[in-house]
Amino acid sequence: MAEAKDIDDSLDYLRHFEKNTANPDLGTLIQEKISADKESLKLNGCKLKEEDFKAISGFSPIKNLKYLDLDQTGLNSAGLQPLCASDAFANLETLTLANNNLDDEAIFFLSKSLSLTHLESLDLSSNELGSLGAKVLSMAAGIKKLSRLDLSYNRLEGLGLKSLADSSLGRQCVELNLRDTGIGDEGLKSLVKVPPLESLTTLNLSDNGLTEVGVEALCRSMVFPNLKTLILNNNHVGDEGVYAMAESPLFSNLEKLVMHNNGLTTDSAISLSQSKTITRLHTLDMNNNDLRAEGAQALADSSNMKWMESLDLGENKLNHKGAAALANSENCSALKFLRLNNNNISDKGAEALARSTTLLQLETLSIENENWIHAPGAKAISESKNLSSLKRLVLVLNAIGDEGAIHLANSQTLSGLKFLNVAGNKLTPRGEDALQKSTALTGIEVLEIV
């Protein structure tokens, strides 16, 4: 009976799309992309025409979908209009429309849809929305369950941010991605004047040209009283901005802080290490700054690190002294993930990590790229009983050579490794064979050597 029903369903698909679109392959495409339970349809990357979207909107089984992915399908306002006017979105919980040609007019149609009452997650990233589109979206009355909103890579600017933040839609958001939306310092200043966004726990403000001016203004408010994750990559926050953050009660609930490439120095590490408000971090990522060994030492000496499970201090000129500071710190005993790429830690740094009596829970160690680790460093890691919890080891673009590879292949302490990457380490077939035929690394699931 089930097989007969599948045949009937297939015929229904083909008949509907044959009748309602000039695209003879659309029915077959829908059949291929829809999930077995008919609740998920992923059309991302499939180039469709306006008439195709109209045909989809009129196909009754579509209204049973809970997940719809129309990323990079060529969707524009004319294609979105019939979808919004139909009941195609009636049961949707997740709608993703990224990388299309959606402008402010398209958002008008979306905001007027009466079928988005179950929608929880909306992705509008990489479109052509402006401040007007953000304002129109913020006035949508029928999207009352939305909690995750991605508006990254649009041009909302400060005015659009203010409209969104000062709305019921903004106040119900739990996760908000505003990466590269042109909000700038003026956008942050505008947030000071809106009521607290008490539901918001995750916020991405990367690539927005933010400086210490906007951050300091933000820190004088309590607009995000329950924020747990803050991502600020590729801005210009600087040491003064971090100092303001470290002193502000706004971030007292923060558990994850990501600040790649923000012009930070040792002073920022000191500010975080001495903070009386940012004391609950589980994840800290300050890759591509200038913390130096002194900055690593400041963090290592801080009791604020005691809950830290994930730490990324890659590309910070730490050298072996910075690696040793972390390796010897009792405050780092909860770490499960440690990344120190591009830090010139050398064999001395690798040996310090291998000797550590505090990094006993470490599961991922990533010390790739320009760390100048040779065979002695690889040998120390391979013989370390203290690193026996490792599941992932990344040594890409060092210089361990065949000798280092053989040490790893014969390790009696790394049997729990599931992932090992030693690409770019000048291995010959001798070293490659040792790793590929290892009888000691019995848990390896992924081995990358080239």
pLDDT at 220: 95
Residue holding tokens 């998920």? 40
Please give the torsion angle defined by the CA atoms of residues 360, 362, 367 and 368, in that order, rounded to the nearest 10 degrees: 150
pLDDT(214) > 50: yes
DSSP letter string, 37-100: TSSEEE-TT----HHHHHHHHT-GGGGG-SEEE-TTS---HHHHHHHHHTTTTTT-SEEE--SS
Phi, psi of 130 (to 5 degrees): -115, -165
pLDDT mean over 252-271? 98
Q: Band the pLDDT of 6: cuts 50, 70, 90.
A: very low
pLDDT mean over 363-378? 98
pLDDT at 13: 55
pLDDT(388) > 70: yes
pLDDT(358) > 50: yes
pLDDT at 81: 95
pLDDT(140) > 50: yes
pLDDT mean over 128-132? 97
pLDDT at 318: 98
Q: Band the pLDDT of 229: cuts 50, 70, 90.
A: very high
pLDDT at 16: 61
Q: Band the pLDDT of 141: cuts 50, 70, 90.
A: confident
pLDDT at 62: 87
Residue 204 near residue 231, CB atoms below 8 Å: yes
pLDDT(243) > 90: yes
pLDDT(4) > 70: no
pLDDT(323) > 80: yes
